[in-house]
Structure 1
Amino acid sequence: MAIITLTTDFGYKDHFVAAVKGSILRELPESTIVDVSHQIAPFDITQCAYLLSNAYPYFPKGSIHVIGVDSEYSLENRHIIVFADGHYFIGANNGIITLITKSLQIDAVAEITIPNCDQNTFAVQEVFVKAACHLARGGQLAVISKPFDNLKEVKRLVPRVSNEGNSIIGNVVHIDGYGNAVTNITKVLFDAYRNNRPFEIVARRQKISSIHDTYNGIINYELPAGQRNGAGDLLAIFNTAGYIELAIYRSNVNTVGGASTLLGLKTDDIITINFL
């Protein structure tokens, strides 16, 4: 039985997540349901794409990924299934899936056409769950859909190189649960332009001149404990997804704060790297 993942902006205050899971279990009691996230900012397709694109590769081929962000049906936001990299992605044609699959070979794109299915109510429960369960049972894509050739593409904020290759200007694309600010500047892009030069990362009024591979890379364990960097200090790392991330070591957004609150960063804010 295939795995079904859920990524939504529903949150946990209301009944929506439970209703979707209950609908899956009613049809497939033996199914495996995995939550990727239900804390996506409302209608934030960039954040959704970032999280799911970094989660789905760890699942087995044949997994089915239900995307419940901006899922209301319209003629410009049709319900679709995309099969790429051995995975099924079910959602609305709002650009999320193309952001996830932009570097992948897309093998099939189809519009969901399940008979007697009300697309104008709770689409994730009424449409996406039925499609996911059909595929999880081994059903054919052609039975519940028809070919679709108008896959919507959106331009995600992309970093740009300026100042004759001496600067990279990027943006914050995600604030994680620790308050860390993830940028869209990749290690690959950074390394391509650094050429062993010193640099500074500018985030509002803060400047950082080093990037670590781990959070505790900020600590020089050869120094006496009282002289080391530690909790509360600002750092930059290459995160596991290969992006530059700004963090506060051992941050807690509910007490001392994180990089987002202490630096006043939010999604789309500009982050600049200057090579010196």
Structure 2
Amino acid sequence: MAIITLTTDFGEKDYFAGAVKGAIYSELSDVKIVDISHSVSPFHISEAAYIIKNAYKSFPKGSIHIIGIDSELTPENKHLAVKLDEHYFICANNGILSLLASEIMPEKIVEINIHDKIQTNFPVLDVFVKVACHISRGGTLEVIGKSVSEIRHLKQFEPLINSEKDQILGHVIYVDNYGNVITNISRKLFESVGKGRDFKISARNVNFNMIYETYSHAINFNVEKENRKEEDGKKLAVFNSAGYIELAIYKSNPSTVGSAASLFGLEYLDTITVNFE
């Protein structure tokens, strides 16, 4: 049974996500549709990129991933079908696959060219669904598009390293549901540049000189709970499950006590600096 996933900024209020699912089922009765997220912030490329990068790997090879973010067809925003890591991705060429393609070379990229056969002002519903169903039936990418060699890359996904190799300049690329702040500095890059040296992570007015493996590693459970200093509300840096440096508040709640994003005053694209000694 084919698996088609949906990642969009449609939200839950409108009919868009339901219409896309209905269109898929109208063409393919024997298919499994999985919602990865419909709560991406409107037109937020980096949010969608981070979500799809860390979700797709849990699906079986051959899964088809529709990404409906900033998908209106324009001369500067063409539509792509990409085979990468034995998965298929259907999206606009707006940089949304930058995080994936920076680590894994796409096996095949085509620019979708079936628009002249379809009248639409809702390309996710009318174009992306057609392409996904074509692939799920075993169709080749060449039938629905012309081969291209590159996809658009976004610079904000790429940290900068100074010439002395003692500083990494990164940015916030995602704020999760808990208000934790995810940077574009990967563990692999941090360890490659740092080579075990002492360091200081700086973000606005907060600094960190330790990175924990998990959130709970920041807490000394050998001390009785009532005698622990800084438990709930403790600020920490952690290598998250996606392999990036994340700045967090232990057991934060954005709607009550606040979160890393609110308490540190950090937003999308704010600067994160790592200095090595």
Distance, in Å, in 2 between the alignment partners of 1:64 and 1:163 is 41
SS at match of 2:19: helix
Deviations 1:141-165 (A, max 9, x none): 3333333346333323422233833
Paired position in structure 1 for 2:26: 26
Deviations 1:89-147 (A, max 9, x none): 111122223442233232222222336312x4001001001110121122233333333
**What pairs with 1:156-195 in structure 2 (closer than 5 Å)?**
156-162=156-162, 164-195=164-195
| Structure 1 contact 179–261 (Cα < 8 Å) conserved | yes
Distance, in Å, in 2 between the alignment partners of 1:23 and 1:258 is 39
| Structure 1 contact 3–32 (Cα < 8 Å) conserved | yes
**What pairs with 1:79-228 in structure 2 (closer than 5 Å)?**
79-114=79-114, 116-118=117-119, 120-149=120-149, 151-162=151-162, 164-228=164-228
What is the CA distance between 1:43 and its match in structure 2?
Answer: 1.7
Distance, in Å, in 2 between the alignment partners of 1:6 and 1:81 is 14
Deviations 1:62-106 (A, max 9, x none): 110101111000122122211121111111122223442233232
| Structure 1 contact 183–245 (Cα < 8 Å) conserved | yes
Paired position in structure 1 for 2:268: 267
Deviations 1:5-32 (A, max 9, x none): 1111112222211111121122222211
What is the CA distance between 1:169 and its match in structure 2?
Answer: 1.8
**Greater Cα shift, 225-234 or 261-270:** 225-234
Paired position in structure 2 for 1:7: 7
| Structure 1 contact 82–97 (Cα < 8 Å) conserved | no
Paired position in structure 2 for 1:246: 247
SS at match of 1:165: coil
Q: Percent identity?
A: 49
Distance, in Å, in 2 between the alignment partners of 1:141 and 1:195 is 43
| Structure 2 contact 2–30 (Cα < 8 Å) conserved | no
Paired position in structure 1 for 2:41: 41
SS at match of 2:212: coil
| Structure 1 contact 110–145 (Cα < 8 Å) conserved | yes
Distance change (3 Å), C-alpha of 1:128 and 1:159: same
SS at match of 2:142: helix
Distance, in Å, in 1 between the alignment partners of 2:49 and 2:100 is 5
| Structure 2 contact 156–269 (Cα < 8 Å) conserved | no
Distance, in Å, in 2 between the alignment partners of 1:192 and 1:146 is 38
Aligned: 1:70 with 2:94: no
Deviations 1:176-208 (A, max 9, x none): 111000001111222223343332221211122
What is the CA distance between 1:47 and its match in structure 2?
Answer: 2.0
Amino acid at match of 2:263: L
Distance, in Å, in 2 between the alignment partners of 1:176 and 1:78 is 29
Gaps of 5+ in 1: none
**Greater Cα shift, 184-193 or 211-220:** 184-193
| TM-score of the aligned structures, taking structure 2 as reference length | 0.92
SS at match of 2:21: helix
Q: How many residues align?
A: 275
